Chains A and B, each alone.
Chain A
Amino acid sequence: MSFVNKITSDNYVSYTMRLVEPLDASYSYSNIVIQERNGVEEIFTIRYINDDNARTNGTDGMNMKSGIIPYDGWEDPDDGNTGGGDDDFVEICNDIRVLTPIPCGCGHMPWETCKGSTCGNPLYPSLEIVTQQECYLDYTGGNGNTGGTGNIASGNTGGGTNQDPTDPEDPDIVTTPISSVLPDGALLTIAECITPNQEQLDWINEQQTKPDGSPNLVSIWNYVDDLDNNECADQLNQSFFKQAIDAFDSGGKVDFENRIIKDSTFFNNEKVNCIYDKLTQSPKFKTLFIDTFGESDAFNVTFKVVNNISVNGITGSLPNSINNINRTTGEVNLNLLIRLNEQYINSSSAIAVAKTILHESIHAYLKLKYIKCNIGTPFDDIIDDIDDKNLEELLNYYYDTACPEEEQHEFIFANMIPTMQDILADIRDSLIPENHQQNAEALTFIDETNPSGPEINWNWNEFYKYFSMAGLQNTDAFQFEMLPVDSPKYQNYTNYINTGINSFTKNCID
């Protein structure tokens, strides 16, 4: 994904590109230089060493000084010169590109509203790439090089060259540091598409020199690169990219393809992240949730783990987001936020947390279907005998007749328990160890058809059914079907759920 910089002169050509070093957490980075000089091919790596402390202290930015370590490779096997230990001069043309906001004449920045300057030029704010270029010779043969770190060349430069290796007028390598893995113009394209604020701009600039090649910036670029101007201008896309940058900046993860953001609180929570990944292995969950939100750029979901809610999980609109249907075009914008309770995650079994994520994902799916029924995964892909048209009628019925807080729960209780059973069955073996399954199977329950008779064995389908009802206990349907509390059904329900939440393992193993 790195772009290549070509430098040519008489009898000389070099190609320089970024090396991606995923395990390097510093702000130093490496380039690979392939050159042909007077017919001799050579390859070098050059490391540009940045003072991370200075960077942390804010005294140094992109404009790094470099220590250079050229290593030989690709020596022509025929020339027999495998190690002369010559010293090298490297001419470095430092080419640093920084995205810089240019305010309008009144001082409005690109991320601020500006209706045209009345205070002089420029009329509108903009973003520009400011290129700082500086060439210098770096002598790598001793301690006094211009990079300041005194690295020593490890070997010869290949052999067969006629130049004087100690002559600064005749450098052995001519290169330019490639600090970004993105092609020329990519930064500006990203910035123009996203119109970032100052913090987001700082993040983009900072990403260019990350030794891991900034896969996060690359993923944004890959997505932006496919958008046309209209798509870039789309408010929802802009909103999503800004959420994505904020998520990246705080250590989160973004699935651009499916428009799902794992906030850092979610992504860095090993348990919940592992459970979510297991859940996505269920074909039915994938159909219901992943495919729905992957269908359109206009549907986005953000997951977050919080400690300030009194419920296990809750699905709502993302604050300050656009959630509407355009009555003229019929286009739907939906930005949802699923929050999960940290205390509940920590204290509950892995399968219970999975059930809660599933429950919230169904809310997200139904919120979309209620806005417009024929978008997202068709309902008859989930439940055979209910198509989107029937679903629309059903949802309208529940929204008209149920208590406002329980509308979706009433619908879920009546229609979606079998789907939840199927998904829980899909993920059972990945979240419940076999010995725990065997322990559960040793438990006995009331025979609901003959309550005074002998108890009957654990039944996984019954477990999935009752477990799926957890969270739906305030619906009229539940209370009609399951109460009173001393009924055999309710007793079995509490016993299955008690095992489901408290007895199975709390751990999720990758």
Chain B
Amino acid sequence: MKKQCLLLFLFIVYGCFSQNLDKLKNNEVLFVISENHNGDFFKKTKVSKNEKDTKRDSFWYDYYFKDGSIIKFSYREYTDFDKKEKNKPALFFSINKSFLRKNKDIIITKQFMHKIGCSKSMDLLKNAKTILLIEENPNNKKEVMLKEVILFEIGIE
């Protein structure tokens, strides 16, 4: 039993940290996986309801670090008002769950961010043109939802 736990632990660690930072640095599109539950260094907070489509409600996705720093992503139906005027909503689509398995080496997890730290994670994320957040599709367990989010940063001045 102990041996099984050790193997499982190694598998989890390997699985979590298998991303290659150098490879990710060159990606214009980054995928970040959302946690299923609040707590344990992650929090999802609803900002406002979307009257037309509840799936498009606005949210904050916060990733906390042990030193107290936070990486925040914002999801809104439109990433900015120019896009709202042009009716170009933020990317939002569902995809088969196998996407997670096939692309695990390019999906950024909370564990990976903890491993490289908040500062390097921010640098990596700021470099991307598009960030897609992956979360469960409550209506279809075989699928996951991908949402275009914005990295939120209140810089130092």
A494 and B156 contacting across the interface, CB-CB below 8 Å: no
**Residues of B contacting A360 in the complex (Cβ-Cβ under 8 angstroms):** 157
A495 and B47 contacting across the interface, CB-CB below 8 Å: yes
Q: Is B14 an interface residue (CB 8 A)?
A: no
- Segment 456-510 of A: residues with Cβ below 8 Å from B: 470-471, 473-474, 485-486, 491, 494-495, 497-498, 501-506
| Chain B interfacial residues counted at CB < 8 A | 22
A502 and B74 contacting across the interface, CB-CB below 8 Å: yes
Q: Is A435 an interface residue (CB 8 A)?
A: yes
8 Å CB contact of A502 from B48, B79, B85: B79
A440 and B157 contacting across the interface, CB-CB below 8 Å: no
A505 and B152 contacting across the interface, CB-CB below 8 Å: no
Q: Is A198 an interface residue (CB 8 A)?
A: no
A312 and B74 contacting across the interface, CB-CB below 8 Å: no
Q: How close is B119's CB to chain A, nearest CB, in angstroms?
A: 9
- Provide the A329-352 mask, 1 if CB < 8 A to any CB of B, else 0: 000000000000101100000000
B154 and A505 contacting across the interface, CB-CB below 8 Å: no
Q: How close is B50's CB to chain A, nearest CB, in angstroms?
A: 12
Q: How close is B28's CB to chain A, nearest CB, in angstroms?
A: 14
Closest to A349 in B: B80
A312 and B85 contacting across the interface, CB-CB below 8 Å: no
8 Å CB contact of B155 from A312, A498, A504: A312
8 Å CB contact of B81 from A311, A314, A495, A503: A503
**A404, B85: Cα distance in complex, Å:** 45
Residue among B60, B79, B155 facing the most chain A CB atoms (10 A cut-off): B155
- Provide the B62-96 mask, 1 if CB < 8 A to any CB of A, else 0: 10000000101010100111101100000000000
A473 and B48 contacting across the interface, CB-CB below 8 Å: no
**A312, B157: Cα distance in complex, Å:** 5
**Residues of A contacting B155 in the complex (Cβ-Cβ under 8 angstroms):** 311-312, 341, 344, 470-471
Residue among B45, B70, B82, B157 facing the most chain A CB atoms (10 A cut-off): B157
**Residues of B contacting A440 in the complex (Cβ-Cβ under 8 angstroms):** 81
- Provide the B125-157 mask, 1 if CB < 8 A to any CB of A, else 0: 010000000000000000000000010101111
**Residues of A contacting B157 in the complex (Cβ-Cβ under 8 angstroms):** 311-314, 356, 359-360, 470-471
Closest to B153 in A: A501
**Residues of A contacting B152 in the complex (Cβ-Cβ under 8 angstroms):** 494, 498, 501-502
* A-side interface size class: 35 or more
**Contact A504 to B156, CB < 8 A, known contacts A443-B48, A494-B60:** no
Q: Is A235 an interface residue (CB 8 A)?
A: no
B81 and A439 contacting across the interface, CB-CB below 8 Å: yes
Q: How close is A351's CB to chain B, nearest CB, in angstroms?
A: 12
**Residues of A contacting B84 in the complex (Cβ-Cβ under 8 angstroms):** 439
Q: How close is A313's CB to chain B, nearest CB, in angstroms?
A: 5
**Residues of B contacting A443 in the complex (Cβ-Cβ under 8 angstroms):** 48
**A396, B80: Cα distance in complex, Å:** 43
A312 and B156 contacting across the interface, CB-CB below 8 Å: yes
A497 and B154 contacting across the interface, CB-CB below 8 Å: yes
B154 and A473 contacting across the interface, CB-CB below 8 Å: yes
A504 and B81 contacting across the interface, CB-CB below 8 Å: yes
Closest to B62 in A: A485
B156 and A311 contacting across the interface, CB-CB below 8 Å: yes
Closest to A359 in B: B157
- Provide the A423-445 mask, 1 if CB < 8 A to any CB of B, else 0: 00000000000011001100110
Which 3 residue pairs of A and B lie closest in terms of their CB atoms, listed nearest first? A471-B157, A312-B155, A311-B156
On A, residues with C-beta under 8 Å from B are 310-314, 341, 343-344, 356, 359-360, 435-436, 439-440, 443-444, 455, 470-471, 473-474, 485-486, 491, 494-495, 497-498, 501-506
Can you list 18 A-B pairs, Cβ within 8 angstroms, ordered by A? A310-B156, A311-B157, A313-B157, A341-B155, A356-B157, A359-B157, A435-B85, A439-B81, A440-B81, A444-B48, A470-B154, A471-B157, A473-B154, A486-B45, A494-B72, A494-B152, A504-B81, A505-B80
Taking A436-B82, A503-B79, A503-B81 as given, write out 12 further A-B residue pairs in contact, using a Cβ cutoff of 8 Å, ordered by the A residue number. A312-B155, A312-B156, A439-B85, A455-B48, A471-B154, A474-B156, A491-B45, A494-B72, A494-B152, A503-B76, A505-B80, A506-B80
On B, residues with C-beta under 8 Å from A are 45, 47-48, 60, 62, 70, 72, 74, 76, 79-82, 84-85, 126, 150, 152, 154-157
